[in-house]
Amino acid sequence: MVVTDTFAKFARRMAATQGWPYVIIAETENPIRQLEPEALRARAEAMIGTVIEGLTLPPAEIESRLKSVAMAEIHPEGVVRSATPI
C-alpha cells in the first residue's frame, strides 16, 4: 500500500478490518498534491524498495517483521475503544 505519512496508521487499521493487518505500507511525506514531477519521482524512488518487499517477501516474513508494528498501530496501548472490530 502506498500512502502519505498522514494516513499510514489509518491505512493499517482499515487494512486490518479487511483481514490484512500485516500489509506493507510505503509512505511518503504529506502533501504530494502540488509537487513537481521531479519531486514526485524522487519520492517514488525512495519508496520503491518497500514496494518491492511488499510484493516479493513471503507472508510469514512480512508478518514477523510487522507483528509488533501492526499491534501498536491497530490497538494502541492504553486506548480503550467502545466499538467492536469488524
Please give the tally of structural domains in the chain. 1
- 6-30 pLDDT, tens digit each: 999 999 999 999 999 999 999 999 9
Whether 81 is in a domain gets the answer no
Cell of 14: 482499515
- Counting residues of the chain whose pLDDT is more than 90, the rounded percentage is 77
CA distance 23 to 37: 27
Whether 82 is in a domain gets the answer no
Residue-averaged pLDDT of the chain: 90
Show the domain range for 33: 2-74
Give the mean model confidence (pLDDT) for residues 45-50: 97
Bridge partners (DSSP) of residue 3 are: 27
pLDDT class for 82, splitting at 50, 70, 90? low
Whether 49 is in a domain gets the answer yes
